[in-house]
């Protein structure tokens, strides 16, 4: 089993749609969780951290479910500019971050 698993997609959605991604992780002792965004041929950039109580930033909402060992990212009112690969990142052991392979989102007009 991979340490961090994501549905690779692609998710093709129209502008204005709501889309959600899930990510599962293997280590129940993991403490920190993040979503990074990576545009085509660019470096990853932090989108948001995921807290136990959930986290909302504008159109983006992240949730953590420790019992089922997954995190989710919800994007409301999708924009063309949201098209990117979304990387699920988990702090597995100490200070080591493990990245998922990413979920591709394509928002179309």
Residues making contact with another protein (CB under 8 A): 4, 8, 32, 34, 42-46, 87, 91, 94-102
- Minimum distance from residue 6 beta carbon to another protein (Å): 8
Q: How far apart are the C-alpha atoms of 62 and 46, rounded to whole Å? A: 13
Smallest gap from residue 103 Cβ to another protein (A): 10
Output 15 or 39, the one with its CB closest to another protein.
39
Q: Toward another protein, which CB reaches closer, 78 or 103?
A: 103
Distance, in Å, from the CA atom of 41 to the CA atom of 60, rounded to the nearest integer, reads 23
CB of 68 to another protein, least distance (A): 21
Residues in the chain: 109
Task: Output 20 or 46, the one with its CB closest to another protein.
Answer: 46
How far apart are CB 48 and another protein at their closest, in Å? 10
Q: Which is nearer to another protein, 17 or 98 (CB)?
A: 98
């Amino acid at each position: 089993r991979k340490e961090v698993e994501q549905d690779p997609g692609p998710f093709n959605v129209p502008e204005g749609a709501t889309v959600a991604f899930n990510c599962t992780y293997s280590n129940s002792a993991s403490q920190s969780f993040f979503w990074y965004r990576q545009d085509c041929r660019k470096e990853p950039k932090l989108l948001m951290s995921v807290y136990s109580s959930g986290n909302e930033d504008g159109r983006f909402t992240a949730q953590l479910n420790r019992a089922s060992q997954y995190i989710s990212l919800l994007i409301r009112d999708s924009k063309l500019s949201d098209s990117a690969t979304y990387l699920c990142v988990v702090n597995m052991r100490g200070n080591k971050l493990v990245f998922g392979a990413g979920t591709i989102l394509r928002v179309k007009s």
